[in-house]
């Protein structure tokens, strides 16, 4: 405290009443901070900050009651700490964190498969792509697709079969769609 007293420009004679007024409050301040934070080290740090502020602003206090003034300083520090904690989250040493929590499974494969599927669908002839999408994506029955497209049911079944086979081949081989040349 003597070091702080010099920095706040308090004389030695002022330090004695200051110490006499603040020192008995320290155990209660620590209890209050610990009960608020449930973290002994952080509570002690905030009590230290509180004591530094109280010493540094000793001449700025209003009234004669020291206890409520010091507790108000600590309370404000606790509220500020809580706000920061909510904003920043909980700090946990890396050696205590499970490796699974630090990473997340790679998900780029799903995006690549999706891209490959879209490319393969684009490579299908329009009549095969149409029946595949209406049945697989839209959930229409073969009969409903036949009515939508205006072809017999057997043609829908043939197109879906050929479309599925071609789609599987494209996905398995990873073929790039061939571009038609325009002459």
Q: Where in the chain is the domain with CATH 1.10.10.10?
A: 108-173
- CATH class, domain 108-173, is mainly alpha
Judged against a pLDDT cut of 60, whether residue 183 lies above it is answered with: no
| Closest residue by Cα to residue 22 from 1, 6, 41 | 1
Judged against a pLDDT cut of 80, whether residue 124 lies above it is answered with: yes
Residues 168, 170, 174, 178, Cα dihedral to 10°: -170
Q: pLDDT tier at 96 (50, 70, 90 boundaries)?
A: confident
Q: Please give the pLDDT value at position 110.
A: 82
Q: Where are the beta strands (DSSP E) in the chain?
A: none
pTM above 0.75, yes or no: no
The answer to whether 166 and 117 are in contact (CB under 8 A) is: no
The domain 2-92 is classified under which CATH number: 1.10.10, 1.10.1740, 1.10.3470, 2.30.110? 1.10.1740
Specify which of 36-40, 46-50, 106-110, 135-139 reaches the highest per-range mean pLDDT: 46-50
| Closest residue by Cα to residue 25 from 50, 57, 58, 56 | 50
Average pLDDT over residues 9-25: 75
Q: Which helix (H) or strand (E) holds 15?
A: helix 12-22
Q: pLDDT tier at 138 (50, 70, 90 boundaries)?
A: confident
CA–CA separation, 150 vs 158, rounded Å? 14
Q: Where in the chain is the domain with CATH 1.10.1740?
A: 2-92
Q: Please give the pLDDT value at position 14.
A: 55
């Amino acid at each position: 405290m003597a070091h702080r007293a010099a920095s706040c420009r308090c004389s030695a004679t002022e330090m004695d009443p200051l110490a006499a007024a603040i020192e008995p409050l320290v155990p209660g301040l620590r209890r209050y901070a610990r009960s608020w934070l449930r973290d002994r080290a952080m509570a002690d740090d905030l009590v230290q900050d509180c004591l530094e502020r109280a010493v540094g602003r000793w001449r700025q206090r209003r009234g004669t009651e020291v206890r409520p003034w010091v507790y108000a300083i600590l309370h404000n520090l606790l509220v500020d700490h809580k706000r920061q904690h909510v904003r920043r989250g909980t700090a946990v040493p890396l050696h205590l964190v499970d490796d699974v929590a630090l990473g997340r499974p790679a998900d780029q494969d799903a995006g690549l498969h999706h891209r490959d599927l879209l490319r393969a669908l684009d490579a299908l002839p329009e009549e095969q792509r149409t029946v595949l999408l209406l049945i697989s994506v839209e959930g229409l029955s073969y009969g409903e697709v036949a009515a939508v497209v205006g072809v017999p049911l057997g043609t829908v079944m043939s197109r879906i079969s050929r479309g599925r086979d071609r789609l599987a081949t494209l996905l398995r081989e990873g073929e790039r769609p061939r571009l038609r040349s325009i002459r």
